[in-house]
Amino acid sequence: MTPENLLLRPLITQKCTLGCPDLDRCLGGGIPCNSITELVAESGCGKTQLCLQLALTAQLPIPLGGLSASSIYIHTEFPFPSRRLHQLSLAFHSSHPPIFGGDPCDYIFVQGVHSADQMLGIMTKMEQFVENSRTQLPVRLIVIDSIAALFRSEFDNTPVELKRRSSLFFKISGKLKSLAKRFGLAVVVTNQVVDLVGSEGINGLRIGNLASLCSSGRRVCPALGLAWANCVNSRLFLARHEEVDKEENELGDVNLQSTRSRRRLHVVFAPHLPESCCEFVITRKGIFGVEREQNAAKRNEA
């Protein structure tokens, strides 16, 4: 890479819309191509929902923020949520009828993977598939949901095993990055969290994986440790907090009415974005920023 080459590179990286202007705004336009974006969250926060939605929005034409592309969806937790994908695709189909002639699910190639070695093994096949894809829409999105599940139980806590684990992290992420660069792909991987015990970082420094995040009232940090934190380009965190609606009666007694989940998307680190955050909801039709949902509710009332 020479300084001249650097200047010739396009200044703006293509992004894939998430299908909601509020979420796209928070992410500077969507999920970037040519790099790996990680979605981190505890179970049930919406990682899979966001990935399924992305596999649909990637099919949108480029002027509408999509990649005009099909996708490869690798799931490591079983079973694959095909009923939910079908539900989302129906909602998507009805909001973009002229674009989708056929079934959007036909442009999502689903593959189950059971182990990190199997994952590494299929990378070459995946490259050939992306290169030779004869489908109507070329593959421009790869989702791995979830990367953490591949490393959960297979490795012992010994130096040799930890070294083998890190080596697999670098091999898998290296291949994903080279695929992303070669074919202009957006790569999205999901990761779990673990509870953070003890102090945060060294002398309060937030380095890679050591930054603690908060979800369901617990301090958590992304699973897989510092070695994996260096394998991804951008890290997004989905948090959930239960809120209790309280009501005070005339005697001053507090009645707990109901609880509701508030969900937030945080940018933890990304080369092209500042730290930022936005609130979202998950509905039957997909994931949407709260601003958009509130405006829709106001329109319905009016």
Ligand X SMILES: Nc1ncnc2c1ncn2[C@@H]1O[C@H](COP(=O)(O)OP(=O)(O)OP(=O)(O)O)[C@@H](O)[C@H]1O
CA 283/CA 48 separation, integer angstroms: 13
Please answer whether residues 21 and 289 qualify as being in contact, where contact means their C-beta atoms are separated by less than 8 angstroms.
yes
Rounded least distance, CB 262 to ligand X, Å: 12
Shortest spacing between CB 45 and ligand X, in angstroms:
4
Task: Give the burial string for 258-278 (b: 16+ CB within 10 Å, else e).
Answer: eeeeebbbbbbbbeebeeeeb
Ranges of H-type helices in the chain = 3-8, 21-26, 47-57, 82-95, 116-132, 159-183, 225-229, 290-301
CB closer to ligand X, 36 vs 130: 36
**Site for ligand X, rule CB under 6 A:** 41, 43-49, 77, 84, 87, 192, 282-284
**What's the min distance (Å) between Cβ of 147 and ligand X?**
11
Q: Output Rg (C-alpha) for the chain, integer angstroms.
A: 20
CB of 107 to ligand X, least distance (A): 20
**Least distance (Å) from ligand X to the CB of residue 75?**
9
Smaller CB separation from ligand X, 173 or 192: 192
Strand partners, 213: 220
3-state DSSP call for residue 235?
A: strand
User: Which is nearer to ligand X, 16 or 223 (by Cβ)?
Assistant: 223
- In the complex, minimum distance from the CB of residue 286 to ligand X, in angstroms, rounded to a whole number: 9
262, 217 contact by CB (below 8 A)? no
Please say which residue, 25 or 240, places its beta carbon nearer to ligand X: 240
| 226 vs 142: CA distance, rounded Å | 23
* Angle, CA 253 vertex, CA 251 and CA 257 arms, to 5°: 130
- Residue closer to ligand X by CB (options 162, 282) is 282
Q: Which is nearer to ligand X, 43 or 167 (CB)?
A: 43
